[in-house]
Structure 1
Amino acid sequence: MDFRLTDEQRQVEEMVRALARKEFAPRAAQVDEESRYPEENHRRLAELGLLGMLYPASFGGSEAGPVAYTIALREVAGGCASTGVGMAVTNMVGETIYRFGGEEQRRKYLPMLSGGKGAGAFALTEPGAGSDAGGLSTFAREDGGHFVLDGSKVFITNGAHACVSIVLALTQKSPRKISAFLVEPGTPGFNVGKGERKMGLKGSDTVSLSFEECRIGKSAMLGSPGEGLKIALSALDGGRIGIASQAIGIARAALSAATEYAKDRRQFGQAIGDFQAIQWKLADAATEIDAAQLLVFRAACLKERTVPYSKEASMAKVFATEAGNRACHAAVQILGGYGYIREYPVERHLRDIRVTTIYEGTSEIQRLVISRALNR
């Protein structure tokens, strides 16, 4: 088994690592402090072809592939986690449109997404439908040559900056059928709520969306009628590899900060990194992060080979996000009181990584997916 990256993948790693460390990381604390959407970061991602990594150049993408994408997202998240999640959802939306959209939809939206004309949003979660995605209540009724959307969505990443949102809605109540639609900002009846005040990822855009007699053409349907849940679950499979990569990037940044601090901080006449208690915390974190990376690469390789990878994606997400949380917790502990103040980055890393065990499928849902696969 060859664990070496290809020349192209290594070039992506080097390019994005330099970008994240030189441009994103230095302003990440300010982005967090001001709860500011870093538009300049997203412009840079577009310039370097990092917002359309999962579809062909004929539609404006860079067709780098799932493995290169996970590497790029890891590096971006290590520099600025808020930028990473925006990048992740935009790539997921673009890939979903490419896979399930018609030629006209692809030609219209994919160059916009990859070119940074706007982000992509994925509107699935509702006030009464979180982990139970099939329990959504937003309804799209047919009216001549149109559909009319009514309902609301919550916790939608990129919602206020999206040039297109994939919206999941019921199109038949009995038996229940869910369909997917492409909705543009400015459509009458489509409103964006205020930004959420969050624990972490404060530079990401998280809003509610409401639809009140929102009329869209039938051409706005993505895929076939009743195919919405299939589209959503397929998108989330790939998205989970991305969130795992995001967690690894944040955890690696926290581990790096803790390691450097342990070399410099002296107590009892020696560097605290010379104490076994600290050494073991760092060793455990490093081991779990590397194990998480291997799980992510396995899932991404399966996806790149176009073979089923749902179980492996869930394994990667649950392990990487939980291991990443442990690593960030350990980093704060190693820095002690300094880890608890904003002068050092580890408290931000801990706040930013916490949500990775929640969004795009909680840890509990990942274990459900894995156990069902084992029992087939």
Structure 2
Amino acid sequence: MDVDRLLPTLEAADLIALTREIAEKELAPRVEEHESTETYPEGLFATLGRAGLLGLPYSEEYGGGGQLYEVYLQVLEELAARWAAVAVATSVHTLACHPLVAFGTEAQKERWLPDMLAGSLVGGYSLSEPQAGSDAAALSCRAERTDNGYRISGSKAWITHGGKAGFYALFARTAPGGHGISCFLAPGATEGLSFGRPERKMGLHGVPTTSAHWDGALLDTDRLIGVEGQGLQIAFSALDCGRLGIAACATGLAQAALTTAVEYANERTTFGRRIVDHQGLGFLLADMAAAVDSARATYLDAARRRDLGMPFGRQASVAKLIATDAAMKVTTDAVQVLGGYGYTRDFPAERYMREAKIMQIFEGTNQIQRLVISRGLAR
């Protein structure tokens, strides 16, 4: 069922309508095949790029959509309601563009940004390492300055679109200590860069998540974004936006689960009545709907604050926490509504439940979100 949205402009309403059309035509018919066979949807992100959906929150000057963040996030939600893996990868691509948009020189932007925002170059975000996840200051991947640029050595982990992306926002150590991390815009086809086999994940099978290994790979000097030692500032400046992206994806996933459960409950009968008419199940569906609406409201509140230039870090953590916990609960309840059928792969409810779990983990675990929120309260 379509979501009844309050959108700021007629243009935004048209964009949501276009997104729904593309999602129904390009995503919905392909999701089951690729998720079940764990194969990558070749050409799909190029299609999204040609439709203008891969650069929505960025300036039109370089080919972006110039959209408010609240509009971009609702586009993400519509994509996630059809295919969560694609929506997450779209959010990661937007996150990977942020360093160049916010900290790059004009020359760097003119050179690379148009292709990135058009989707000709799809991005990955390479911050985490095998021993450095939530503690980003503990990175050990090194970038050694040479006469010809920077020589990169070390390993990275948990890279969405690993091995498929055209570029990576790479964070590596240029000096000891927490202020010794720098950011690079690394080409996907770099000599000395290789990728591990895709992780054997619980869900989101259609887009690979891999490790990366940098074996003395050389990056040109102009691949440095910002200045040396600015990497953590760059990484953290994007994380609140990334958390909102995941909140929107989680909300779309929860909406899909709710829709599946409601449709089933309206069709299935027991004891001579539709099961939706039994109060015990009707109340369960009501709680699911309330959770989805609450999740949407929290991420939109944070996004609107961002669009107004207001602080939104705490609200972003609240949104990520509320929306991803809601997705876990709503998808679990959807399986319950479908009963035995919900436990089978003949219905998408079990896939939704598997996909929801990771939402509570990446872009900062929900325990980290509680830490961020509580520290804000302590101040």
**Structure-2 residue corresponding to 1:335:** 338
How far has the Cα of 1:370 moved from its partner? 0.8
**Structure-1 residue corresponding to 2:313:** 310
How far has the Cα of 1:4 moved from its partner? 4.8
Deviations 1:307-333 (A, max 9, x none): 221111110000000011100000000
Query: Which amino acid letter does the alignment assign opposite residue 321 of structure 1?
Result: T
Instruction: Note if contact 1:159-1:208 (Cα within 8 Å) is conserved in structure 2.
Output: yes
**Structure-2 residue corresponding to 1:99:** 102
Query: Which amino acid letter does the alignment assign opposite residue 309 of structure 1?
Result: F
Instruction: Note if contact 1:109-1:164 (Cα within 8 Å) is conserved in structure 2.
Output: no
Structure 1 residue runs without a partner (length 5+): none
Distance change >3 Å, CA 171–CA 374, structure 1 → 2: same
**Structure-2 residue corresponding to 1:164:** 167
Please, which moves more after superposition, 77-86 or 54-63?
A: 54-63
| Residue 20 of structure 2 corresponds to residue 22 of structure 1 | no
**Structure-2 residue corresponding to 1:372:** 375
Structure 2 residue runs without a partner (length 5+): none
SS at match of 1:195: coil
Deviations 1:50-107 (A, max 9, x none): 1011211221211112111101000001011111111111112123311111122212
Separation in structure 2 between the aligned mates of residue 268 and residue 207 of structure 1, nearest angstrom: 50
Separation in structure 1 between the aligned mates of residue 25 and residue 289 of structure 2, nearest angstrom: 24
Query: Which amino acid letter does the alignment assign opposite residue 268 of structure 2?
Result: R
Distance change >3 Å, CA 82–CA 3, structure 1 → 2: closer
Separation in structure 2 between the aligned mates of residue 169 and residue 186 of structure 1, nearest angstrom: 18
Separation in structure 2 between the aligned mates of residue 56 and residue 175 of structure 1, nearest angstrom: 32
**Structure-2 residue corresponding to 1:43:** 46
| Residue 121 of structure 2 corresponds to residue 110 of structure 1 | no
Separation in structure 2 between the aligned mates of residue 156 and residue 239 of structure 1, nearest angstrom: 14
Query: Which amino acid letter does the alignment assign opposite residue 43 of structure 1?
Result: A
| Mapping of residues 1-376 of structure 1, within 5 Å | 4-174=7-177, 176-376=179-379
How far has the Cα of 1:240 moved from its partner? 0.5
Query: Which amino acid letter does the alignment assign opposite residue 234 of structure 1?
Result: S
Distance change >3 Å, CA 23–CA 176, structure 1 → 2: closer
Query: Which amino acid letter does the alignment assign opposite residue 235 of structure 1?
Result: A
How far has the Cα of 1:127 moved from its partner? 0.4
SS at match of 2:295: helix
SS at match of 1:260: helix
Query: Which amino acid letter does the alignment assign opposite residue 312 of structure 2?
Result: Y
Moved over 6 A (4+): none
How far has the Cα of 1:45 moved from its partner? 0.9
Separation in structure 2 between the aligned mates of residue 346 and residue 210 of structure 1, nearest angstrom: 36
How far has the Cα of 1:299 moved from its partner? 0.9
Please, which moves more after superposition, 335-344 or 265-274?
A: 265-274
Separation in structure 2 between the aligned mates of residue 182 and residue 287 of structure 1, nearest angstrom: 42
SS at match of 1:173: coil
Distance change >3 Å, CA 185–CA 263, structure 1 → 2: same
Separation in structure 2 between the aligned mates of residue 5 and residue 326 of structure 1, nearest angstrom: 30
Separation in structure 2 between the aligned mates of residue 217 and residue 121 of structure 1, nearest angstrom: 19
Deviations 1:283-340 (A, max 9, x none): 1111111111111111111111222211111100000000111000000000011001
How far has the Cα of 1:145 moved from its partner? 4.2
Deviations 1:333-367 (A, max 9, x none): 00011001111111111111210110111000111
Query: Which amino acid letter does the alignment assign opposite residue 39 of structure 2?
Result: R
Separation in structure 2 between the aligned mates of residue 94 and residue 185 of structure 1, nearest angstrom: 14
Please, which moves more after superposition, 111-120 or 67-76?
A: 111-120
How far has the Cα of 1:188 moved from its partner? 2.0
How far has the Cα of 1:205 moved from its partner? 2.0
User: What RMSD, in angstroms, separates the aligned Cα atoms of the two structures?
Assistant: 1.5
Deviations 1:86-136 (A, max 9, x none): 111111212331111112221222222222223101101100001111111
Please, which moves more after superposition, 353-362 or 55-64?
A: 55-64
SS at match of 1:54: coil
Instruction: Note if contact 2:179-2:232 (Cα within 8 Å) is conserved in structure 1.
Output: no
SS at match of 2:29: helix
Deviations 1:165-220 (A, max 9, x none): 11111111146411111111222221122211211000012111111111212211
Residue identity over aligned pairs, in percent, reads 39
